[in-house]
Every structure is written in C-alpha cells, then in structure tokens.
Structure 1
Amino acid sequence: MNRRPLSQALLGAFVVAVGVAALLGQLGVVEVSLGELFSTYWPLVIVAIGLVALFAVPRAWIGPVFVIAVGAFFQLDRLDLIDVNVWNLLWPIGIILVGLTLLTRLGSRGDDDDVINSAVIWWGSERRTRSQAFRGGSLSAIMGGIAVDLRQAGLADRADIAVFVLWGGVEIKVPPTWRVRVSGLPVLGGWDDKTIAPVDPHAPELNVHVTSIMGGAEIKN
C-alpha cells in the first residue's frame, strides 16, 4: 500500500482542521467566525507551508526558512506586535539569505563533485558533474532557476536530491540508465518526470524529493 509523505499528511490534516472548525461554526456548535480568524491569522498558513517544506526537504533549508520568515513577519504585523512596513523587510531578508548561500558555499561549482548543492534567489545557476560516485545534493530556487546536468555522472547504488522551488524552476537531466523516483509536496505547483525507466530492474536509483510552491521541477533523460 502506498503511503503519502508525512509532510503532505500534516498539511492535509491542517486543511481538514480548518474545514471542521468552519462546519462547527455553521452548525452553531461553537461560536467562531472563520472570516475573522482568517483575516487575523492567515499568515500562519504561510508559516505552516514553510514548516512542512522544511520537514520534507531539510537539506534544502534556504527556501523553507525564507517562507517561514515571511509568514512570521506578516503575522507579527497582523497582531500589531511590530510597527513596520513588512514589505520593506522582505528585501533585507532576501539579501541575508543570499549571504547565507555564499557563506555555506551552496553556490560552489565543480565538474567532479560527488554532491551538488545550489541555492539561487532572483537569478539562475547551471551545474554539471561527471563524478562516478554521485551521492545527491540539495537545490533551492526562489524566483530563479537551476539546471543540473548529470548525464555523464554515475551512481554506485542510489542517491537523493532535495528540491525546493518557490516561484521558480529546477531542471535535472539524468542518464537513461538510471531509475528515477519522484515524490514531494506540490502547493499550486508540481513536477514532471519525463524519464524513461531502464529495462534493468537493478539499475541505480535517483530519488528526488520536491517541495514546489507556485513553481515547477522537471526531470528528464
């Protein structure tokens, strides 16, 4: 039996809870104004999505942390706990995250890397490796794009790539000799697996875990 990822289950449970609260309010069982609650606490939805994404793809933490920070600032503003223009805070947060990507060397590049980590904010990145012991990595694209070419790489057995996409796109090219399995959490976004499964049932396997928020990921041969 196929089981849904825990991150998707948690988000589904949150949506169900909101629906149950609305239903109880309409039946008069509890006195709750869903409209009033939503107008005050809607930023928590953004925080929840960020937390679920962080849980789903912890290695691609840059994107989820950005989403959580945005939601938290909006919530503090709605509760009148801060007296600033939230929109004016977003670009400094973006600059901080860009600095973090540089400090953690997420933007480093090489032709023989066993691990590929890349994070882009407002720009694009192209990565390629010919490593014959590729082990995976993490890709975070926020309002930008990442293209990864693994067609000359090799796997010993299996590898895992964590992908986070927010208003952006990620493209991964793999050899036809690899099996590819894609799973994740789509939020007004998704992914497209265009690879053709090899005949060999014991072929090396690449697992791609995607969290896509108003963006997309594509895996192809």
Structure 2
Amino acid sequence: MKRNRINNNDGGMIFGFIILAVGVLILLRKLDVFYPDWLLSWPMILIAVGVITLVKHEFKSFFGVMMLGLGMYFLLEREFNFDFGLQRFIFPIALILVGIYLITQKRKEKQVMSDIQEKIKAKANKPAVIGEETKAKEEGTYATDYGTGAKSYAGMSGVSGTSYSDSVSIDSIMSGINKRMLTKNFQGGKLTAAFGGIDLDLTQSDFTGIVTLQVDVIFGGIKLVVPPHWDVRVEVTNIAAGVEDKRAYRQSEVDQDKVLVIRGTVFFGGLEIKSY
C-alpha cells in the first residue's frame, strides 16, 4: 500500500516545552527566585503563538509573522518603555496588511485557475491520435502535466471557492473562507483560523495512504466535511476549546488505505468534523 510522507513538524513538542517553561517560571516565583516579570506578561503569549505557528508552517505563515511582530511590539513598548509612536496606528496598519494579504491570495488563486484552464484547452485542441498505446501515452502526459501544474501552485488555495490543487493552505484572519477541494490526489496541508472561520469540503477529494492536515485555531473555528469512508484520526491539542467529531459511526465502511491525520492546536475555538 502506498504511503505518503507524513509531516512531523506539528509543533506539539514546542508547545509542550512552552507549557513546561511557564510551569517552571511560576514555581520559581513561588520560591521567591528572581526573574524578569516580562517573561510572564501577556505579549509573551502572542510571541509564543507566533513562534509555534511559524515552526509548524516551516516559517511560511503570514499569521505567525503577524503574531510574533505584534508580541514583540507590545513587549518592547509596555515592558521596556520603547516609544515607537505607532500605538494609534496599530489597528489600521493591521487591517491594511490583512487586506493586502487577502488581495494577493485572490490574485494567486485566479492565476492557478487560468493556468489550469489553459492546459485543458491546449490538450482539447490537439488532434486525435490513433492507436491505444499512443492514446495512453497522451493521457499519461496530460495527467502528469496537470498534476505538476497543481503541485506548482500548492498552497495558493487560501480564498473561498473551488480548488484543484493537491494540497490546501488557508489562513483565515478576521474573515470567513469556504473551500471545496476537487483533487483526486489530496496531499493534506495547513489551515489557520484566527478570529475567523474556515469551512473545508473534502467530499469530492480522494487519496491513497496517509496524509496530514495541520490545523491551528485561535479564537476561531474550522469545520471539515470528509467522505464517510475515510479513516480520520484527530491528534490535536485543545485549550479551552471544543473538538467535535459528528460523523456517523460506520466501522464496516472505513477504508484503511485512506488515513487522514489531523494535527495542530485549538486555542479558544472549535474544530468540527462531519460527513454526509
């Protein structure tokens, strides 16, 4: 049976070390051992969230960069008295950055759809080739080109609508995103919902082996709709959050060759898994 490579970079160990460090600091305070108070200040929460998100997403997460930047800004300003003169501009600047990010993602998505449509049209306009062997080669070439095209733009499916990419990468920040995946070679991906929501429909997707879907929820929610025969294994860390598996129990219909592993962190939010 074919096994897809699992991404072990789920940040669980880093999150564990952070919890351990917080416990040690609280214990040291109880023992009257001196250490800087800023180590347990609220900006450090933003910094920790940013670091965990960046590590999980291989330092390619806009949300992680934003959380880390905000944490560092408030830490320097409030704890070290740095006066950047930007306090009243933080909120509009954050909105501008989020807007630019969403516009950029939309343009990338349009480019993906345009390239896929051009490939389909190019293949449709080719003259018919006689012979089963030649036809099989032609179809194989088309499948290879199409798959390569989809993988070339993996991670550019972060806006609402339909995606033909083999992997998914969505960052929903103060917004709502609805996505339907149509790939038959699903490779997993990552979902980040911060003060927003994501609805991901995988009912038309397929794969063989084991794939990993990384989810990070912070004051938001994610709903996944999966085929009823997939073997879904939830391995998330939830803190003041709810993780609900609302799928009907159908043990006899579970396909052991299709294992979806869901990993990540749900912090003051919700994760819901459904099937029809």
Q: Any residues of structure 2 matched to 1:22-61 within 5 Å, and which?
A: 22-25=29-32, 30=33, 32=34, 37-38=37-38, 41-58=41-58, 61=61
Q: Does 1:163 align with 2:215?
A: yes
Structure 1 residues 69 and 190: CA distance shift in structure 2, 3 A = farther
Runs (5+) with no aligned partner, structure 2: 1-10, 109-155
Q: In the alignment, is the contact (CA less than 8 A) between 2:22 and 2:40 conserved in 1?
A: no
Q: Any residues of structure 2 matched to 1:66-77 within 5 Å, and which?
A: 66-77=66-77
Q: TM-score under structure 2 normalisation?
A: 0.66
Render the CA deviation track for 1:180-216: whole Å, top value 9, x for unaligned. 1222333433422334464446231111123223222
1:72 partner amino acid: M
Specify which of 23, 26, 47 is matched with residue 19 of structure 1: 26
The more displaced of 106-115 and 204-213 is 106-115
1:167 partner amino acid: F
**What CA distance in whole angstroms lies between the structure 1 residues aligned with 2:237 and 2:260?**
18
Bigger Rg, which one: 2
Q: In the alignment, is the contact (CA less than 8 A) between 1:57 and 1:164 conserved in 2?
A: no
Render the CA deviation track for 1:161-196: whole Å, top value 9, x for unaligned. 222222211101101111112223334334223344
Q: Any residues of structure 2 matched to 1:195-210 within 5 Å, and which?
A: 195=247, 196=249, 198-199=251-252, 200=254, 202-210=256-264
**What CA distance in whole angstroms lies between the structure 1 residues aligned with 2:43 and 2:178?**
34
Render the CA deviation track for 1:125-152: whole Å, top value 9, x for unaligned. 1111222111112222222211011112
Q: In the alignment, is the contact (CA less than 8 A) between 2:216 and 2:265 conserved in 1?
A: yes
Aligned residues: 211
Shift of 1:85: 5.1
Aligned-partner SS, 1:176: coil
Structure 1 residues 60 and 214: CA distance shift in structure 2, 3 A = farther
Runs (5+) with no aligned partner, structure 1: none
**What CA distance in whole angstroms lies between the structure 2 residues aligned with 1:95 and 1:160?**
32
Structure 1 residues 59 and 201: CA distance shift in structure 2, 3 A = farther
Shift of 1:42: 3.5
**What CA distance in whole angstroms lies between the structure 2 residues aligned with 1:185 and 1:60?**
21
Q: Any residues of structure 2 matched to 1:23-172 within 5 Å, and which?
A: 23-25=30-32, 30=33, 32=34, 37-38=37-38, 41-58=41-58, 61-78=61-78, 79-84=80-85, 86=87, 88-104=89-105, 105=108, 106=156, 107-108=158-159, 109-172=161-224
Higher share of residues assigned helix: 2
Match of 1:194? 246
Match of 1:10? 17
Q: In the alignment, is the contact (CA less than 8 A) between 2:208 and 2:257 conserved in 1?
A: no
Q: In the alignment, is the contact (CA less than 8 A) between 1:159 and 1:207 conserved in 2?
A: yes
Q: In the alignment, is the contact (CA less than 8 A) between 1:94 and 1:121 conserved in 2?
A: no
Structure 1 residues 157 and 138: CA distance shift in structure 2, 3 A = same
Structure 1 residues 72 and 189: CA distance shift in structure 2, 3 A = farther
Q: TM-score under structure 1 normalisation?
A: 0.80
